[in-house]
Amino acid sequence: MKPLFKGKHFITLEDWKKSEIDVLLETAKQLKHDFLHNQPTAYLTNKVAFLMFFEQSTRTRNSMEAGIAQLGGTGIFLDTSKMQIAHGESAKDTAKILSSYGHGIACRNCFWEVGNKYLREMAENASVPIMNLQCDLYHPMQGLADLMTIQEVWPDTRRLKVSIIWAYATTHKKPISVPLTQILLFPRYGMDVTIAYPEGYDLPEWAFQKARQNALENGGSLTITHDQEAAYRDADVVIPKNWGSWVNNPSSDVIDELLERGKTWKCTTQRMALAKPGVKYMHALPADRGNEVEDAVIDGPHSIIYQEAENRLHTAKAVMALTMGDK
């Protein structure tokens, strides 16, 4: 495997040409095949990736650690609360030092108006690729896995109706990075994207503008609505997921009056019945079961959440193999 993108940062898929994303997807597909057939994929022998986490993680941490092990390398988990970052060390210094110790740095930092800036500062000072494991604005690893999963069901995604729908949840005030990544990425593959949410849960206007531009250039579309039933109606894919009101309210409080007004925004069997008969339910996980979605839906025949979660492994491997490999 040739490391076609050696040293290229993976902070947002907006920085990657569509043809480059296609290479990532084809590589992930091959790596998935090799994994299922127990074929060796030691493309990163003796390579080290540092995995920095400012927040908790299940799928992201384990897909990266398992992925680099399967590629022949080593992933070193770093809890940033146990690093000198907790005492004020800069992103610049951290990036320069870790670059001299290994071959890639991956980081999750979702703090609002901090995370993406932190990753960009690391990228400016690192001599190895910086990989975004989710920030306040983007989650490219999740977006790539979502796209791979959709393509596995529908190889031709043109005119596919994909609905990204806000859903009620009380676990924590979640980042906007998953829906923002999806509205930017899916129209690039000709999908007709609908985003539905209660008023107050807007994404940044620049993201809507860029998503419309991506749609115009690639034969897709973007529709914004505050009617959840309209989003479910005739949909091929539904992605009901909570996100926080960060754009309008930077407070980290989880439960407030605005959230409680959205209690009826829930994925139910009745709403799924509005979609096409072959509709697929997706979620980045973890789902707030009982609030965001009924068990009958997430555990039902339309759900492809575990296929989606598995693809996090193979897309992560593709990103690492193609950006961290030898010349």
Q: What is the DSSP string of 287-316?
A: --BTTTB-HHHHTSTTB-HHHHHHHHHHHH
Percentages (nearest 5) of helix, strand, coil residues in the chain: 45, 15, 40
Superfamily (CATH H level) for 141-308: Aspartate/ornithine carbamoyltransferase (3.40.50.1370)
Average pLDDT, the chain: 97
> Phi-psi bin for 6: left (phi > 0), alpha (psi -120 to 50), beta?
beta
Separation of alpha carbons 48 and 72, rounded Å:
10
- Measured on CA atoms in the order 48, 49, 51, 52, is the torsion positive or negative? positive
Mean local confidence (pLDDT), 193-216:
98
pLDDT for residue 1 = 62
- Strands in the chain per DSSP E: 48-53, 74-79, 104-109, 130-135, 161-166, 192-196, 221-225, 237-241, 280-281
CB 227 within 8 A of CB 152: no
Instruction: Give pLDDT, residue 260.
Output: 97
Looking at residue 174, its pLDDT comes to 97
Q: For the segment 60-79, what is each residue's pLDDT rounded down to a tens digit?
A: 999 999 999 999 999 999 99
| Sheet hosting strand 74-79, strand order edge to edge | 74-79, 48-53, 104-109, 130-135
Quote the pTM value: 0.97
Same fold: 13-139+312-324 with 141-308: yes
Residue-level pLDDT at 327: 44
At 326 the pLDDT is 78
Write down the pLDDT at residue 4: 78
Measured distance CA(274)–CA(277) in Å, rounded: 9
* Length in residues, the chain: 327
As given in the structure block, the two tokens for residue 246 are 């960060």
For residue 177, report the phi and psi dihedrals to the nearest 5 degrees: -65, -30
Amino acid present at 213 = Q
What are the backbone angles phi and psi of residue 217, rounded to the nearest 5°? -80, -15
For the chain, the maximum distance between any two Cα atoms, rounded to a whole number of angstroms, is 55
pLDDT at 179: 98
Local confidence band at 317 (pLDDT 50, 70, 90 cut-offs):
very high
Domain chopping of the chain, boundaries: 13-139+312-324, 141-308
Q: Which two tokens stand for residue 89?
A: 């060390």
Class of domain 13-139+312-324: alpha beta
CB 237 within 8 A of CB 279: yes
- pLDDT tens digit string along 124-179? 999 999 999 999 999 999 999 999 999 999 999 999 999 999 999 999 999 999 99
